[in-house]
């Protein structure tokens, strides 16, 4: 029994078969070429795996624990004063809630190559950040300096410091200073560290 195909069915089948063959050839060529074909630089001897995937050309000083301001030993924790007592740490997962977020209506007030958490007391050590909220935030910020600073937030008592990497378009900064920035973030459960 001979089945006769019309011309449009035959052409469609040939187009699909050709496309599948080209995709298969392309994927096998990519797999055989390895990372060098994607423009990756060869991995240096002794270089960590994560570093081989880092952006080339961007140099930033490594973060080191530095005792500064409110963090006397440089471990990234600011001790509560007075110390919190009577609370047992828990590894239990809290009950699910639908909205894990915060909102703060604050304006951009300045940019600087500072990060008071990663590089405390090391002005200019970071990539450029856009700062909102507290108008005194810099590499030397402490709880006391932020409490004494002013705010660009709608809530007059919000002396919090908010920052993010500065967005650029080519060589031009694209951060705006208009008072129309609403900060939104998601809260995450942080692991307990003794």
- 4: phi then psi, degrees, rounded to nearest 5: -100, 125
**Nearest to 146, CA basis, from 130, 124, 161, 164:** 161
Model pTM score: 0.49
Structural domain count of the chain: 1
pLDDT in tens, 121-137: 999 999 999 999 999 99
| Residue 79 maps to a domain | no
Whether the bond into 30 is cis, omega within 30 of 0: no
Distance CA 151, CA 131 (A): 11
Asked whether residue 178 is assigned to any structural domain, the reply reads: yes
User: What is the average per-residue pLDDT within 82-105?
Assistant: 79
Residue 122 in any domain: the answer is: yes
| 39 in any annotated domain | no
Is 50 among the domain residues?
no
Residue 127 · residue 118 · CB < 8 Å? no
Question: Tens digits of per-residue pLDDT, 44-64?
Answer: 555 444 444 444 555 666 767
Mean pLDDT in residue range 156-162 = 90
Residue 54: the pLDDT is 45
Q: How confident is the model at residue 75 (pLDDT cuts 50, 70, 90)?
A: confident
Specify the 3-state DSSP secondary structure of 101. strand
Rg, the chain, Cα only: 27
Nearest-angstrom CA–CA distance, 147 and 134: 9
Identify the weakest region by mean pLDDT among 23-27, 138-142, 143-147, 160-164. Answer: 23-27
Can you give the residue range of the structural domain that contains 191?
99-194
> What would the mean pLDDT of 76-86 be, rounded to a whole number?
80
Instruction: Tell whether 164 is covered by a domain.
Output: yes
Q: Are strands 101-105 and 108-112 parallel, antiparallel or unpaired?
A: unpaired
Decide if 138 is inside a domain.
yes
* Domain presence at residue 171: yes
Q: Which residue has the higher pLDDT, 111 or 8?
A: 111
Question: Is residue 113 pLDDT above 80, yes or no?
Answer: yes
**Closest by CA position to 68, among listed 143, 154, 176:** 143
Across the chain, mean pLDDT equals 76
């Amino acid at each position: 029994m001979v089945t006769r195909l019309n011309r449009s069915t035959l052409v469609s089948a040939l187009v699909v078969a050709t496309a599948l063959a080209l995709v298969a050839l392309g994927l096998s060529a990519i797999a055989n070429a390895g990372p060098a074909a994607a423009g990756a630089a060869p991995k240096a001897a002794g270089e960590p795996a994560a570093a081989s995937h880092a952006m080339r050309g961007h140099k930033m000083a490594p973060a080191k624990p530095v005792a500064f301001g409110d963090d006397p030993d440089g471990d990234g924790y600011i001790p509560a004063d007075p110390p919190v007592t009577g609370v047992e740490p828990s590894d239990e997962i809290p009950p699910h809630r639908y909205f894990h977020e915060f909102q703060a209506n604050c304006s951009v007030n300045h940019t600087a190559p500072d990060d008071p958490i990663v590089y405390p007391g090391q002005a200019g050590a970071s990539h450029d950040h856009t700062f909102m909220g507290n108008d005194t935030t810099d590499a030397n910020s402490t709880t006391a300096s932020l409490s004494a600073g002013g705010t660009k937030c709608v809530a007059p008592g919000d002396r919090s410091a908010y920052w993010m990497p500065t967005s650029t378009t080519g060589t031009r900064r694209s951060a705006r200073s208009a008072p129309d920035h609403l900060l939104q973030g998601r809260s995450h459960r942080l692991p307990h560290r003794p």
